[in-house]
Amino acid sequence: MSNILAFVSIKGGVGKTTLALETASSLANQYDKRVLLVDANFSAPNIGLYLDLTNDLTLHDALNGTMLHNVIYEAHGFDVIPASMNYHEDVDPYKLAQLLEKYKSRYDYIIIDSSPNYKELRPVIAAADKVFLVTSPDNVTLTTTMKAAEVAREQETPIEGIIVNKIRSPKHEFNLKEIETISEIPVLAKIKEHKKMAQALFEKSPITVLDSNNPISKEINSFASAICGSPEKTTWIDKFIPLKDVVQRERMNRNYLRERFYE
Ligand SMILES: Nc1ncnc2c1ncn2[C@@H]1O[C@H](COP(=O)(O)OP(=O)(O)OP(=O)(O)O)[C@@H](O)[C@H]1O
Ligand SMILES: [Mg+2]
């Protein structure tokens, strides 16, 4: 099974780190998967800050020869390789693929967070088996996200789908159909901007751990369920709306992804 998944976009602040870490948390805690989360934002990493990891050894050391097991830490039920904000030696980010390949069999999923910087994105896409694009539903962000799609296509790394994050004002933003028409890529999750994310940041905890009933947590759990081929958790409302899967594009797309897991 192809299990190295990268979350990418060319624009900063759209939610790559958030989605990478929440998906890692959901796969580990809701679906019992062995997960390694890797911060491959080489120049401006922040997974360590998100998860309150203050360890000295990081991905940068591993890229310069430190054994990988020395830079792996545990947080909230999954393993994490943080990166360094203060590393002074040069690193070759293209060694990432080789490093992770050795650890692939130890995990069900290796999730990579990436930088919005072109140069740093390429080695991440080279290391990934599949990528998920992260965008917000506005013209500026979607246009730059399509640049990330171009890089993945150039490198022949399959794009599994788009996650639309930070939906703020649907009246003034692209809807999912428009995003799919522009990108020709299926949307797999739609996530509203939610103030509870501030609490998750403050408490240095994934929101999927902090509040499993939050709409963001529910959508992430549904997305993660499709990745690992598990059924989507349904609520009593779903039973009354049997056509919800057909009506909601993201649910329908997740069903395709889920089915592909068994192919
Ligand atoms: N759905 C959301 N609702 C509210 N806040 C969010 C949401 N998604 C992400 N955020 C917040 O937006 C900020 C940026 O998110 P994040 O760090 O994940 O973006 P990024 O794409 O990784 O940025 P960078 O390119 O700089 O690494 C964070 O403060 C995060 O908590
Ligand atoms: Mg980030």
Residue with tokens 């649910």: 251
Given a contact cutoff of 8 angstroms between Cβ atoms, the answer to whether 208 and 26 are in contact is yes
From residue 121, alpha-carbon distances to 111, 157, 197, 201 in Å are: 14, 12, 25, 24
Sheet strands (E) in 145-256: 159-167, 187-192
Q: Whose CA is nearest to atom 13 of ligand 1?
A: 13
The finding on whether 196 has its CB within 6 A of some atom of ligand 1 is no
Q: Whose CA is nearest to atom 1 of ligand 1?
A: 193
Domains and CATH numbers, the chain: 4-261 (3.40.50.300)
Sheet strands (E) in 97-215: 109-114, 130-135, 159-167, 187-192
Say what the pLDDT of residue 243 is: 63
Q: pLDDT 10s per residue in the chain (263 long)? A: 669 999 999 999 999 999 999 999 999 999 999 999 999 999 999 999 999 998 889 999 999 999 999 999 999 999 999 999 988 889 999 999 999 999 999 999 999 999 999 999 999 999 999 999 999 999 999 999 999 999 999 999 999 999 999 999 999 999 999 999 999 999 999 999 999 999 999 999 999 999 999 999 999 999 999 999 999 887 766 666 666 656 789 999 999 999 888 77
The finding on whether 206 has its CB within 6 A of some atom of ligand 1 is no
Residue with tokens 């911060």: 39
From residue 193, alpha-carbon distances to 3, 165, 166, 215, 251 in Å are: 28, 7, 4, 10, 19
Give the C-alpha separation, 188 to 201, whole Å: 24
| 128 phi and psi angles, rounded to 5 deg | -90, 150
Say what the pLDDT of residue 5 is: 98
Tell me the best of 42, 192, 197, 202 to mutate to test the pocket of ligand 1, counting ligand atoms within 8 Å of each CB and taking the most. Answer: 197
pTM: predicted TM-score of the whole model, two decimal places:
0.96
Give the C-alpha separation, 111 to 12, whole Å: 18
Say what the pLDDT of residue 1 is: 60
The Å distance, Cα 150 to ligand 1 centre, comes to 23
Residue with tokens 């989360």: 37
Q: Which ligand is nearest to the CA of 207?
A: 1
> Which atom of ligand 1 approaches the CA of 12 most closely?
25
